[in-house]
């Protein structure tokens, strides 16, 4: 086997850490439409926890889904392999996403992997992973905090980035810009004057303050009003209130692409 592409990450993981992104992936059309419901959890870390959780969550939408955890550290693969069960397996590898028989995944989830890379390395990592996808496949790459209350990610197809999503725990949210510390590597250094992501976070904070009176009806109603106002202001917001009430905001990638 050729040397895996990439570097070993810190490997930190926690139960339920990736529940927000898993919930979003489970709602994507590719999960239901793929002829081969193969999903890769790339860089799952020091234990099999999040890979097993991903399989359980996706199985609710696609019972025959198979999740393959891929790690660049042989010791982590040996440890996780003890948790192998129906619909879940583990392999050694990196951004090249090695799979037997030339199979291609419908989805690749790569969370908290590129955070430890340089920004200039992101495009090549994206391109490498995207070449491994099925024609209608989806790469989900992003970052979250240690307990999964603040997360953001980019959704990519083989043609490149298409969406940007923020997902926040609303119950104890101070300001939406808390996500600034958990932006994907492609954006985290772009939160400065003149960049689109900076403008987005400023706008979200302003709308969150403006709709503070709706907090008496609960943080969900306040957030729904924020996202609706963002859409009315011309931002390319995707989805419906059913997604917004979860603390999600998905926009076209063009809305935040670095200048």
- Please say whether the beta carbons of 68 and 38 come within 8 A: yes
Distance between alpha carbon 232 and the CA centroid of its chain, in Å? 26
* Structure confidence by residue, pLDDT tens digits, 139-175: 999 999 999 999 999 999 999 999 999 999 999 999 9
pTM of the model: 0.96
80/45 Cα distance (integer angstroms): 9
What pLDDT is attached to residue 1?
59
Q: What is the DSSP string of 94-146?
A: -TT---GGG---SEEEEESSGGGS-GGGHHHHHHHHHTTS-TT-EEEEEEE-T
Q: What is the DSSP string of 203-228?
A: HHHHHHHHTGGGGGG-HHHHHHHHHH
Mean pLDDT of 221-241: 98
Q: Which domains does the chain have, with CATH numbers?
A: 19-166 (3.40.50.150), 176-254 (no CATH)
50/95 Cα distance (integer angstroms): 18
Mean pLDDT of 97-116: 95
* Structure confidence by residue, pLDDT tens digits, 68-81: 999 999 999 999 99
> What average pLDDT is seen over the chain?
96
């Amino acid at each position: 086997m050729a040397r895996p592409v990439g570097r070993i990450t810190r490997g930190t993981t926690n139960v339920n850490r990736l529940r927000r992104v898993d919930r979003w992936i489970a709602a994507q059309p590719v999960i239901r439409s793929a002829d081969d419901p193969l999903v890769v959890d790339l860089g799952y870390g020091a234990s099999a926890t999040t890979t097993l959780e991903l399989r359980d969550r996706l199985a609710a939408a696609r019972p025959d889904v198979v999740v393959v955890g891929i790690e660049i550290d042989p010791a982590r693969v040996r440890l996780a392999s003890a948790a192998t069960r129906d619909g879940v397996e583990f392999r050694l590898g990196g951004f090249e996403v090695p799979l037997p028989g030339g199979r291609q995944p419908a989805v690749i989830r790569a969370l908290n992997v590129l955070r430890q890379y340089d920004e200039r390395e992101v495009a090549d990592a994206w391109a490498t992973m995207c070449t491994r996808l099925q024609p209608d496949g989806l790469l989900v790459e992003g970052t979250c905090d240690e307990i999964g209350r603040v997360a953001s990610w980019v959704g990519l197809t083989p043609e490149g980035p298409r969406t940007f999503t923020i997902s926040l725990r609303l119950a104890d949210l101070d300001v939406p810009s808390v996500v600034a510390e958990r932006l994907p590597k492609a954006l985290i250094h772009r939160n400065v004057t003149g960049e689109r992501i900076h403008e987005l976070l400023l706008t979200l904070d302003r709308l969150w303050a403006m709709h503070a009176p709706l907090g008496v009806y609960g943080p969900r109603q306040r957030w729904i009003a924020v996202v609706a106002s963002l859409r009315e202001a011309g931002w390319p917001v995707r989805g419906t209130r059913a997604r917004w009430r979860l603390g999600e905001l998905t926009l076209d990638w063009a809305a935040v692409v670095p200048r």
